[in-house]
Every structure is written in C-alpha cells, then in structure tokens.
Amino acid sequence: MIVTIAIIVLFGILLMMAETFLPGAIAGTLGLICIIAGVVLALVSDELAHWSMRSRILLSAGIIVFSFTVVLIWMRWFAVKLFHRAFT
C-alpha cells in the first residue's frame, strides 16, 4: 500500500509541474486531488493498520511537506530559469 500511496503522490506532483505549461488549471487541480488522495489513504488504509496513528499522521505531514517543497523548488528555480520564462 505504501508503494501505491507513493505512486499517487508522485503522479500528483508531476501533474502540478505540468500545470506550469498547460493552461486551464485542470492538471493542477488533478494533481492536488492526487496528493490529497495520498494523504487520505495514508490515514485510513487498512494495510497500514499495524502503524500507530502518530506514524500515519507523520507520513501524511511528510507527504504534504515533500509535495510543497518539490513544487516550490520547481516553480522557483527550474520552471522559470530552465525555460527562460518562454512558456511561463
């Protein structure tokens, strides 16, 4: 289950990065939904029942912080400087 959560969150991050180049806010919205789905799965998954609630909350917080950090780094350094503001 942890691999499924990781795949969903990474797909959400990639969609949010794609929003830099795609108009319409559809990819960003779907990316945010994927990240929220990963957080919800981390909190309520039956396969993680042997984890304590504290561990699940830390996993969820880690997902949020990791996603925010990656998207922030992408927007700040790579999306603007890599493409020289041609697309953004």
Give the mean pLDDT of the chain: 87
Question: What integer pLDDT is reported at residue 29 of this predicted model?
Answer: 92
Q: Which of these, 65, 63, 44, lies nearest to 1 by C-alpha position?
A: 44
Question: What integer pLDDT is reported at residue 23 of this predicted model?
Answer: 78
pLDDT per residue over 29-47, tens digit each? 999 999 999 999 999 988 8
Question: What integer pLDDT is reported at residue 83 of this predicted model?
Answer: 58
Q: Which of these, 27, 34, 15, 8, lies nearest to 74 by C-alpha position?
A: 15
> 7 pLDDT exceeds 90?
yes
User: What's the token pair of residue 20?
Assistant: 């830099």
Q: What is the mean pLDDT of residues 61-70?
A: 95
